[in-house]
């Protein structure tokens, strides 16, 4: 078999056989196929697509290119959740404790942030002492005892994706739905949980810009999950504005704690109730959404979910006093209020721009090697649909380096304020299974 023949076949709209996909992924992972041939194949896939069967086989080949985590020593149903990423997205840190408190086992591997989206691991590491490099044995022990662990990747999961993603990044082949779906699902399947809930976001701050594309991506991932015998479901959610009010690492952890204390922002809670209900049904802990929502509400009201978070923080070496006393988190040198220049309703709020402002304050990384200032970021006071009077505070900037005119302008540009009444956006647009 020759790679050049496979490239030609795909270029001309042909369907790759199972053997050809195996040849291609195994050969590329093991350095027998060079980058220039794989680049040509990726571009051919971008133009010609992959059918459902090809996408499943590609995912399965990628999944088997490295380690697959065996979670069978954890009792009960292991649930996992994946978000396609967004600004202010601290869902895993609220949802994980909520569903763990209801009896699910959450054995989660998360990532770090790059660019405008923050990473769950960075947020967690803003808690002094907490570490995310946990051995497999300790990971399993922790999930059996606290029901919850959120750690960095252990083992060599999906090396094919590591190579392919780096190549896609520099060949303009990232935004191709079958390639995104196989990349995400191979990693989720390799992480070993029994069920997968996907939160596929669309909008300005997200990977998918339209609802239609988000639905196609979700359906492609559900089809892959089903074909490989995993209960996979998806929420389609709107990411036209940041989720919750806080953007920035320790600011987001404080919002997580507020939420688990019953004082969370409405949109964040709504997303967690939708996602948590599906996860409890996937784990056969609740029969229907009404029962599931009641269990999740009880987990918050009884503080059981907060205690789950606290137990996880302690088990991973973190100072759990920060969970009961969030005022311990270091404060920034300055908190600057950004006040509205006009009166009206917030029509739009550019999540992407605000994510970039937070990154430039030092809260995120422009390149992988950058270090992070955990304390900086933004806390929104006004979001889409809110009425604003002139001089009202739109948001507060938590900074150790002042605020340049450029960043202040970026914040003002992110807000569109109009005279006409604006409805609050619907956050969860669809649930697919
Ligand atoms: N996230 C991934 O893990 N892979 C993609 O291809 C896109 C987003």
Q: Whose CA is nearest to atom 5 of ligand 1?
A: 180
Q: Whose CA is nearest to atom 1 of ligand 1?
A: 184
Distance CA 69, CA 354 (A): 36
**373 in catalytic set:** no
Q: 431 CA to middle of ligand 1, Å?
A: 21
**187 in catalytic set:** yes
* Burial class of residue 306 in the structure, from the number of CB atoms within 10 Å of its CB (0-12 exposed, 13-18 middle, 19+ buried): buried
Q: Whose CA is nearest to atom 3 of ligand 1?
A: 184
**284 in catalytic set:** no
Within 10 A of 335 (CB to CB), how many other CB atoms are there?
A: 11
Index of the ligand 1 atom closest to the CA of residue 180 = 6
List the catalytic residue out of 64, 187, 215, 396: 187
Q: Per residue in 262-317, pLDDT tens?
A: 999 999 999 999 999 999 999 999 999 999 999 999 999 999 999 999 999 999 99
For the entire predicted model, the pTM comes to: 0.93
Q: Per residue in 204-243, pLDDT tens?
A: 667 788 999 999 999 999 999 999 999 999 999 988 899 9
Q: 183 CA to middle of ligand 1, Å?
A: 6
Local confidence pLDDT in tens for the 433 residues of the chain: 999 999 999 999 999 999 999 999 999 999 999 999 999 999 999 999 999 999 999 999 999 999 999 999 999 999 999 998 778 889 999 999 999 999 999 999 887 766 666 789 999 999 999 999 999 999 999 999 999 999 998 778 999 999 999 999 899 998 899 999 999 999 999 999 999 999 999 986 677 889 999 999 999 999 999 999 999 999 999 888 999 999 999 999 999 999 999 999 999 999 999 999 999 999 999 999 999 999 999 999 999 999 999 999 999 999 999 999 999 999 999 999 999 999 999 999 999 899 999 999 999 887 777 889 999 999 999 999 999 999 999 999 999 999 999 999 999 999 999 999 999 999 999 999 9
Question: Using CA atoms in the order 90, 93, 96, 99, what is the torsion angle rounded to 10 degrees?
Answer: -80
The candidate with the shortest Cα–Cα distance to 427, out of 207, 254, 272, 284, is: 272
What's the pLDDT score for residue 370? 81
Is residue 396 within 8 A of residue 381, CB to CB? The reply is yes
């Amino acid at each position: 078999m020759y790679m050049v023949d496979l490239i030609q076949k795909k270029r001309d709209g042909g369907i790759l056989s199972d053997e050809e996909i195996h040849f291609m992924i195994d050969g590329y992972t093991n350095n027998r196929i060079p980058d220039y041939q794989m680049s040509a194949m990726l571009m051919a896939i971008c133009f010609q697509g992959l059918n459902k069967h090809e996408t499943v086989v590609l995912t399965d080949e990628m999944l088997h290119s490295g380690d697959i985590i065996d979670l069978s020593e954890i009792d009960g149903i292991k649930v996992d959740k994946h978000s396609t990423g967004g600004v202010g997205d601290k869902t895993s840190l609220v949802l994980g404790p909520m569903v763990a408190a209801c009896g699910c086992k959450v054995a989660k591997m998360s990532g770090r942030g790059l660019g405008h989206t923050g990473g769950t691991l960075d947020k967690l590491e803003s808690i002094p002492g907490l570490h995310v490099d946990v051995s497999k044995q300790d990971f399993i022990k922790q999930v059996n005892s606290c029901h919850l662990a959120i750690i960095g990747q252990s083992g060599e999961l999906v090396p094919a994706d590591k190579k392919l993603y780096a190549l896609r990044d520099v060949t303009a082949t990232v935004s191709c739905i079958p390639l995104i779906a196989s990349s995400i699902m191979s990693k989720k399947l390799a992480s070993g949980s029994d069920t997968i809930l996907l939160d596929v976001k669309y909008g300005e701050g997200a990977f998918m810009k339209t609802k239609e594309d988000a639905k196609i991506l979700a359906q492609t991932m559900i089809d892959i999950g089903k074909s490989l015998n995993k209960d996979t479901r998806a929420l389609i959610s709107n990411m036209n504005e940041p989720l919750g009010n806080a953007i920035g690492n320790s600011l987001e952890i404080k919002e997580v704690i507020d939420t688990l204390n019953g004082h969370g922002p409405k949109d964040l809670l709504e997303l967690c109730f939708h996602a948590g209900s599906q996860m409890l049904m996937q784990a056969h802990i609740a029969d229907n959404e009404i029962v599931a929502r009641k269990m999740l509400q009880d987990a918050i009201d009884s503080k059981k979910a907060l205690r789950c978070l606290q137990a996880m923080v302690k088990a991973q070496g973190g100072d759990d006093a920060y969970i009961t006393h969030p005022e311990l988190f270091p404060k920034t040198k300055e908190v600057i209020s950004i006040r509205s220049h006009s009166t009206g309703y917030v029509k739009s709020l550019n999540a992407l721009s605000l994510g970039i402002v937070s990154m430039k304050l030092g809260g995120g990384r422009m390149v992988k090697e950058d270090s992070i200032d955990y304390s900086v970021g933004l806390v929104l006071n006004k979001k889409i649909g809110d009425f604003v009077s002139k001089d009202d505070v739109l948001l507060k900037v938590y900074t150790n380096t002042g605020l340049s005119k450029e960043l202040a302008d970026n914040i003002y540009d992110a807000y569109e304020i109009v005279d006409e009444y604006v409805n609050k956006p619907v956050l969860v647009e669809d649930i697919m299974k």
